[in-house]
A and B are shown apart, each in its own frame.
Chain A
């Protein structure tokens, strides 16, 4: 597969790894956060940690839209799906995510709810067109990458005046969450959480560009490298961060120049701006209430907003008391530090958000990496 296989070459990886090992300086610390679950997944799946010198430590960030979706929103979706007139469409990722009381959309489906898996927002619209007597709700999640497709579909619904379609919007913003982590007292004042650099998600930046990260680099004096999700991309980004740290720089660099520009996809940005507006505050599982971190559907599209149509109330449901996700998402703890990890909480029976999606830090560690701790 062109533009994929070349970026998975193991021999080249060892070369980059050798450069990293050769360039890290004694006495310097390289605690690097990959914000995005896609990177977490790549690091675990390809065993990248095995290729890194001990001084380089990867901290898994909160960048998985499934993991950060608060339980209250899952509960709301399950309640929606339970309405007899509703067909709830959503991405496969969400079907198994547990809400409170151990419910999930999968279980709701087994109990008779009309829940359909789609691989594109456009398919949800297609289902609405095909079944005019059903109330078709698209349960939308995702970061800046997934938002423009939802915007396109909302515009089409309006243009076609599809009255039986609506969107339950849970789109969230990457920079807001990074800002929240950097602002947390552990990072800002106490310095208990070492954070020396960030790997930024390439796919988000195909849309928003690299510019939004310039503020972080400047304000918090941390280097940022925007990187693709193939293993060589990740390694190269680590090398670029090591070099910035060695030189005391904190610039925004772009490893994914093959599809990311400084400005991003203006057309997609304009569409998103036309359809969505900022919520003053949105809850993230693990991080809590984060100001200006989520999107809501604008008044002009209110008729297609499931939250308005079905009067969905905001309910906050606390996470399991023993779950350390919040600390893990901010780099304070590792998955294996959690008392529930691997005994009570496994991918078959996830307790917290980090175990829910394949990209969550706990799930990735369980699925690909747990032999590391087991001697």
Chain B
């Protein structure tokens, strides 16, 4: 019955790996189940079935498309785990389980797929959030960008916690957990057409541990959100809009690495619009801000946490920034995608 093992050194994914036949079963066995190994997965059902505690659940899903698939500090696999865990955690919830769906382009080297799946499994194990069900499809060459991954996550919200993007109130403090823009710049540095190099790594990380410590210390947190695509600026605008408030942030208070600042200068980008994958924004009543800040700084993923601004009343819902320079300006939504410019 069993043919030769998959050739993870020189082999490639082909249409048969998505065809539902023996080749697919072999890929699932030898790669996915072996890597993600857990009781639920081992049952080999089309769904994972498990008991849940009473209470409020959260559920989130996210598709990952990234070029290049590998970047300093991570790859599409670890990103797909971290990103979805973070989306669950931003409700203050404890993530319980993930699902993963792979859309693989024919021709992807099996070695690359294996590296990604192993990194994904390592990320899930490290986070303590298992991948309990999954799916694999193969599309023809030219119809996908190597690999797309969609992960769905569920989690449970501890009793007494209500965190939502529409709860920011005038007088609240705004905190971030660390330096902005690291992920976006690390990924851009790998794109050949942008032509620059740095030692910077993506900040991709699962934030649920940090969040657990935060909600335990200050259950009064109003909003949590991870500033991924669109960066800090776009995320603050989303929150201001949802909550019907304005915000004023201090440029000098925003943690920023020299390399991120340098790369953004070179490309004509604004670091406030550059993506993060291991950072969060927290908004809570001013009086509790210093307690929360101390808790965040005690956690390895929040060492550089900082209070960056405050929520104000503003019917225009503007996010404004006090510049390092002493002036004030709007920090707007991003118009389209941020493109490098020469002028």
Query: Does A116 lie at the interface of the complex (its beta carbon under 8 Å from any beta carbon of B)?
Result: yes
- How far does the Cβ of B117 sit from chain A's closest Cβ, in whole Å? 32
CB-CB contacts below 8 Å: A67-126 with B: 91-93, 95-96, 106, 116-120, 123
Can you list 21 A-B contacts (CB < 8 A)?
A37-B343, A44-B329, A50-B326, A50-B328, A51-B326, A51-B327, A64-B343, A91-B341, A92-B268, A92-B341, A93-B342, A93-B343, A119-B195, A119-B342, A231-B325, A347-B336, A359-B343, A366-B332, A367-B330, A367-B335, A371-B316
Given A116-B193, A370-B330, also A1-B262 (CB < 8 A): yes
Interface residues in A, total, Cβ within 8 A:
48
C-alpha gap A47/B326 in the complex (Å): 8
Residues on the B chain within 8 Å of A118, using CB: 193
Q: Are A93 and B341 in contact (CB under 8 A)?
A: yes
Beyond A10-B325, A64-B343, A371-B328, 6 additional contacts (C-beta under 8 Å) are A46-B323, A48-B325, A116-B193, A119-B340, A123-B193, A371-B320
Q: Are A117 and B339 in contact (CB under 8 A)?
A: yes
Q: Are B327 and A47 in contact (CB under 8 A)?
A: yes
Measured CB to CB, the nearest residue on chain A to B194 is A119
Query: Does A308 lie at the interface of the complex (its beta carbon under 8 Å from any beta carbon of B)?
Result: no
Given A1-B258, A123-B195, also A47-B342 (CB < 8 A): no
Query: Does A13 lie at the interface of the complex (its beta carbon under 8 Å from any beta carbon of B)?
Result: yes
Query: Does A146 lie at the interface of the complex (its beta carbon under 8 Å from any beta carbon of B)?
Result: yes
Q: Are A368 and B326 in contact (CB under 8 A)?
A: no
C-alpha gap A366/B320 in the complex (Å): 13
Measured CB to CB, the nearest residue on chain A to B324 is A10
Query: Does A38 lie at the interface of the complex (its beta carbon under 8 Å from any beta carbon of B)?
Result: yes
CB-CB contacts below 8 Å: A145-171 with B: 146
Q: Are B324 and A358 in contact (CB under 8 A)?
A: no
Residues on the A chain within 8 Å of B267, using CB: 119
Query: Does B32 lie at the interface of the complex (its beta carbon under 8 Å from any beta carbon of A)?
Result: no
- How far does the Cβ of A153 sit from chain B's closest Cβ, in whole Å? 14
Query: Does B318 lie at the interface of the complex (its beta carbon under 8 Å from any beta carbon of A)?
Result: yes
Q: Are B325 and A46 in contact (CB under 8 A)?
A: yes
Given A116-B193, A374-B316, also A357-B325 (CB < 8 A): no
Q: Are B339 and A92 in contact (CB under 8 A)?
A: yes
Given A95-B339, A120-B195, also A1-B329 (CB < 8 A): no
Residues on the B chain within 8 Å of A1, using CB: 258, 261-262, 265
Q: Are A8 and B327 in contact (CB under 8 A)?
A: no
- How far does the Cβ of B65 sit from chain A's closest Cβ, in whole Å? 16
Residues on the A chain within 8 Å of B341, using CB: 91-93, 357-358
Q: Which B residues have a C-beta under 8 Å from some C-beta of A?
A: 193-195, 258, 261-262, 265, 267-268, 316, 318, 320, 323-330, 332, 335-336, 339-343
Q: Are B329 and A45 in contact (CB under 8 A)?
A: yes
Measured CB to CB, the nearest residue on chain B to A64 is B343
Looking at chain B's contact residues, the main secondary structure is loop
Query: Does A65 lie at the interface of the complex (its beta carbon under 8 Å from any beta carbon of B)?
Result: yes
Query: Does A66 lie at the interface of the complex (its beta carbon under 8 Å from any beta carbon of B)?
Result: yes
Q: Are B329 and A369 in contact (CB under 8 A)?
A: yes
Q: CB-defined interface of A1-18 with B at 8 Å, one 1/0 digit per residue? A: 100100011100110000
Residues on the B chain within 8 Å of A116, using CB: 193
- How far does the Cβ of B135 sit from chain A's closest Cβ, in whole Å? 29
Given A93-B343, A348-B336, A371-B318, also A14-B193 (CB < 8 A): no
Residues on the A chain within 8 Å of B318, using CB: 371, 374
- How far does the Cβ of A245 sit from chain B's closest Cβ, in whole Å? 23
C-alpha gap A142/B341 in the complex (Å): 12
Q: Are B327 and A46 in contact (CB under 8 A)?
A: yes
Measured CB to CB, the nearest residue on chain A to B269 is A92
Residues on the B chain within 8 Å of A65, using CB: 343
Residues on the B chain within 8 Å of A346, using CB: 335
C-alpha gap A142/B343 in the complex (Å): 8
Residues on the B chain within 8 Å of A9, using CB: 325
C-alpha gap A116/B332 in the complex (Å): 27
Q: Are A368 and B193 in contact (CB under 8 A)?
A: no
Which 4 pairs of residues, A with B, have the shortest CB-CB distance? A47-B327, A92-B339, A347-B335, A368-B329
Measured CB to CB, the nearest residue on chain B to A366 is B332
Residues on the A chain within 8 Å of B328, using CB: 47, 50, 371
Residues on the B chain within 8 Å of A93, using CB: 339, 341-343
Residues on the A chain within 8 Å of B268, using CB: 92
C-alpha gap A14/B193 in the complex (Å): 40
Residues on the A chain within 8 Å of B194, using CB: 119
| The one of B258, B327, B330, B335 that contacts A348, using a Cβ cutoff of 8 Å | B335
- How far does the Cβ of B82 sit from chain A's closest Cβ, in whole Å? 28
C-alpha gap A92/B336 in the complex (Å): 12
Q: Are B193 and A119 in contact (CB under 8 A)?
A: yes
Q: Are B340 and A92 in contact (CB under 8 A)?
A: yes
Residues on the A chain within 8 Å of B258, using CB: 1
- How far does the Cβ of A313 sit from chain B's closest Cβ, in whole Å? 27
Given A50-B328, A367-B332, A374-B316, also A66-B193 (CB < 8 A): no
C-alpha gap A13/B324 in the complex (Å): 10
- How far does the Cβ of B276 sit from chain A's closest Cβ, in whole Å? 21
CB-CB contacts below 8 Å: A285-313 with B: none
- How far does the Cβ of A341 sit from chain B's closest Cβ, in whole Å? 15
C-alpha gap A340/B343 in the complex (Å): 25
Measured CB to CB, the nearest residue on chain B to A203 is B343
Q: Are A47 and B329 in contact (CB under 8 A)?
A: yes
Residues on the A chain within 8 Å of B324, using CB: 8, 10
Measured CB to CB, the nearest residue on chain A to B266 is A119
Residues on the B chain within 8 Å of A106, using CB: 336
Measured CB to CB, the nearest residue on chain A to B333 is A348
Q: Are A117 and B193 in contact (CB under 8 A)?
A: yes
Residue of B261, B267, B268 contacting most chain A CB atoms (<10 Å): B268
Measured CB to CB, the nearest residue on chain B to A66 is B343
Q: Are B342 and A13 in contact (CB under 8 A)?
A: no
Q: Are B325 and A47 in contact (CB under 8 A)?
A: yes
- How far does the Cβ of A117 sit from chain B's closest Cβ, in whole Å? 6
C-alpha gap A1/B265 in the complex (Å): 10
C-alpha gap A369/B327 in the complex (Å): 11
Residues on the B chain within 8 Å of A4, using CB: 265
Residues on the B chain within 8 Å of A51, using CB: 326-327
- How far does the Cβ of A272 sit from chain B's closest Cβ, in whole Å? 17
C-alpha gap A14/B327 in the complex (Å): 10
Q: CB-defined interface of A209-231 with B at 8 Å, one 1/0 digit per residue? A: 00000000000000000000001
